[in-house]
Each structure stands twice: as C-alpha cells, then as structure tokens.
Structure 1
Amino acid sequence: SLSLSLFQEWQNSIQKNAGLAFIELINEGRLLCHAMKDHIVRVANEAEFILNRQRAEDVHKHAEFESNCAQYAADRKEEEKMCDHLISAAKHRDHVTANQLKQKILNILTNKHGAWGTLSQSQLHDFWRLDYWEDDLRRRRRFVRNAFGSTHLDVSLKALEDYGTEEDEMVKSKKAFRSQAVVSQNPESELMLEGDDDAVSLLQEKEIDNLAGPVVLSTPAQLVAPVIVARGTLSITTTEIYFEVDEDDSAFKKIDAKVSF
C-alpha cells in the first residue's frame, strides 16, 4: 500500500510538473515503437524474398548443370560411336583392298605369261566380262577376267519354231517363279552375284590410299540402291567423298548377303 501510494504521488507530481511534455514523450515513444515494428517486418519480408529468389536460382542452375552434363555425355557417346564406325569401316576397306591385291597378284602369277602360267591353264582363249566398276561419268569401261567363260560349243542351231516354244516355256517358268517369290515375300533373293570376285571388282583398280587430310564434313546419310536403302555416314575430306555403311543397323543386318549395292 505504501509503494502504491508513492507511485500515485509520483505520477501526480509528474503530471503537475511535466504536463503535456510527458504525454507527448510517451506518444512519440509509442509511434517510434510502431515504426520500428513495421521496419523490422518489412526487412524480414525482403530478406525472405531474397532467400527464395536465391534458392530458385540455385535450383535452376542445378537443373541446367544436369542438362548440360547429359547433353555432353550424349555428344561424347555419339562421337565415340562415330569413331568406332569409321575405324570398323576402315578395317573393312583395308580387308577388301587386301583381297583385291591378292587376287591381282594371283592373276599376274597364273597368267599365261606369268611365273605359274602354262598353256594348259590359260587355254587357248581368255574370257572377259564387263566389270561393275564405273568411272566419274558412270561409264563401265573396264573388263575383268571371267573364270566361268565359255565358247558355248554345245549350242546348236535351232529352227524358229523351236525358239517360239522355248520362249513360251520361259514365260511360264518366270510366272511360276514370280508367284513363288510373292508367296515367300523375299524379292531380295532374286539378286545374286556371280561370284566373290564381283564384290572385289566393284572397287577401282588403283590402290585405295589412306584419307588425305582431315574430314571436312561428316553427316548421317542413306545410300539408295536397287531394292536397298542402307544407313551410314557420308564423309567429305579435302580430296575425297565416301560413304561408310553402318553395319550395326538392324535394316542392314536383314539384307541378304547375296545382294550387292
């Protein structure tokens, strides 16, 4: 009770002595308190907004980094696949070139003027056939030896009527063969090469050198040939343009080995 009475007396004395100045001081303190509260809330909101923006930027940068890593890995994988394809194609080309050189040396040795050549082996006739190789103007101007050549001595003269009957039989046989081909649904089997030498003779007689200069352009392409569409890579160097078939392609594996393109 004593303290309460002292506080009341102190308050009354302040009100009497200070008056309006004390009341204004209290009001200014109250206003300053509200202003500080608003300022603290505003600063806290701004800080939260800045933190959210930084967090969103971090998430975006992380996603962009993962995307760049995935794209880089895909590019490296595609580049490695292209290198492996070019290496395997070069090995295949070297193998074909080696077979061609071996056959050329064998032809030189077994020729009638060669070291292993005799009159009985060369016989009296040398048979030739038109090669599949074409020059820049797509002219077939090269002959190669035909090991299966013949003078057709067993062919005898026949009358015109005999040829007519034979033509009718040929037409019937062709129709029967085509009907069988339609049933089997395998038209590629009609195309056959005469021998293994035909695949080698598709190359030029000159030696195939290594690639001269770096590859200027390399792009996926498709080689269109009769009844065949092969996927591969078209490469252009400073001196050559060549196509390498993709042997790992599923469509290429389904092609009959007897079909050439």
Structure 2
Amino acid sequence: MKEEIIRIDSVSFQYPGAEKDAISDVSLSIKKGEWIALIGPNGSGKSTLSKTINGLLVPYKGEIYVKGMKLQEETVWDVRRAVGMVFQNPDNQFVGATVEDDVAFGLENNGIDREEMKVRVTEALEQVRMIDFLKKEPSRLSGGQKQRVAIAGVIALRPDIIIMDESTAMLDPLGRKEVVEVVRDIKDKYGLTVISITHDIDEASLADQIIVLEEGKVIYKDTPANIFSLGSTLIKMGLDLPFAEKLRLQLKDKGINVPNRYLTEEEMAEWISQSYLNK
C-alpha cells in the first residue's frame, strides 16, 4: 500500500466578490509517487485546487495535509518546500540573466551553500537535457526549452511533489512531448508525485489516475482507461477523448463489433491489424 502524501478534507474556496465557490467540499487522497492528471472544463476549479495545496490560496473551509503536515500559517513554508509549481508561461518565472542564474535563484533564496548550489544546478539541467544551455539567456530559448529550464529550477529545490499548472498549454506538440518525457523521467528517478493540470488529453492519458472536476466538485477519480470509457459523458462536459477512443466509438456507431473497452492507440492499431488479417 502506497504512502499518502496529500490529503484534502472537505475543502471549499471562494474568490472575493464571487457568487459561488470555485471549489466546493473537495476531498481527495493522493499517494506518494503517483502521477495525477486534473481535467475539467474551463472554470471547473483545477488551478484553484492546485493553489490551495501549497498555500497560495487559503480555503475558508476544510483542511489540507502535505506529508502529514497540516497546512496552516505555521507550516506553509515547509509545505512550499515540499511542493514545487511550474506554471503555464515560463517567462513569468524567469529572474536570472542566464539559465544557470535562473536555476540557482531559488537555491539562493533558501540559503543553499554555494558548492552544493553548483552541484544541484548542474544535476537539474542535466536531468532536463539543458546543460548545454547553461550560459544562454532564457529569452533566447524556444518555448519547450524555457519550460524545461523552469522545471529545472523547481527540481533543483528537491521537492517531493511537482504541480504542473497547464505547463504544456503554450507549447507545440513536440515541445509538449519533450516536457512530459522530462517530467516522467524525473518522477521515475526520484519517486516524485506529479499533479498535472491539463487540457491535453494525450498528456492526461499517461497519468496513473485522472481526476475530473466540474463546477468546483470532483465528479470522477479513476484510471485513464475507466475515465475515457465514459466517452460521450466527457464530450457533453466539453472535454476531448484520445484519438483511439474516438475512433472506437465511431466504428461502434457504424455497427462494427469493436472491443467494449478503452484502447490505447497501440492497442487499437493492433486490433485493426488482427481484424484485417483474420478476414
């Protein structure tokens, strides 16, 4: 049984002047080492929920525990050391004149020894495959490269949890693929817990569990296979489906006897190949 790293108990948050809660009575348990994808329509509360986890937003009701610590004024900085956040626009996170300076910035603020800092900066940039850009100006990097540097700045701090708040939204397909691969490699190497807020359904399909939010409430939490098998239910919410699942549903609508379960692209290709060969 995996150890629980985040527990959210009946949490509600409302923005000043709003007529209703942004998140309402949310309860969740997240295990150490899991990759969790948060999906839902715009305004469903995904980013709000993520910002309550490290104390950027303070709920008016409920409790949050991170690594067993109850999130409150006395523990907020300890919690923030455990939770690293990577936001949508990496330009908003850059403060250094060079890639090296930028990754070192958070370490300096945390009083890390200079020699240790050099080691961590090098290791972090090697992990995101950006060590060759050590002396480059962040402004001269591509979108995917900037996001990888932003991730390096977070992992250099050695958090236990990384929250990616729409971190691939501004990238092209190749950039998204590169960033997701980097995060998965880091997760596997260090046993990190990853929470990915995303509209990219292919990115969500890589998670261990998907949490679906609607109007500030958690309505589903399950494996990608079980979530995507909801099909038309997700479409009615304004969400997308992986290509293979859309193809499966279209074939089914045409009366073709397709497997009655979620298939990945590889599984769908194999099923089509086998069906053709058996004719």
Q: TM-score normalised to the size of structure 2? A: 0.19
Q: Which has the higher contact order (CA 8 A, sep 6+)?
A: 2
Give 1 or 2: higher helix fraction. Answer: 1
Structure 1 or 2, whichever has the larger Rg, is 1
Give 1 or 2: higher strand fraction. Answer: 2
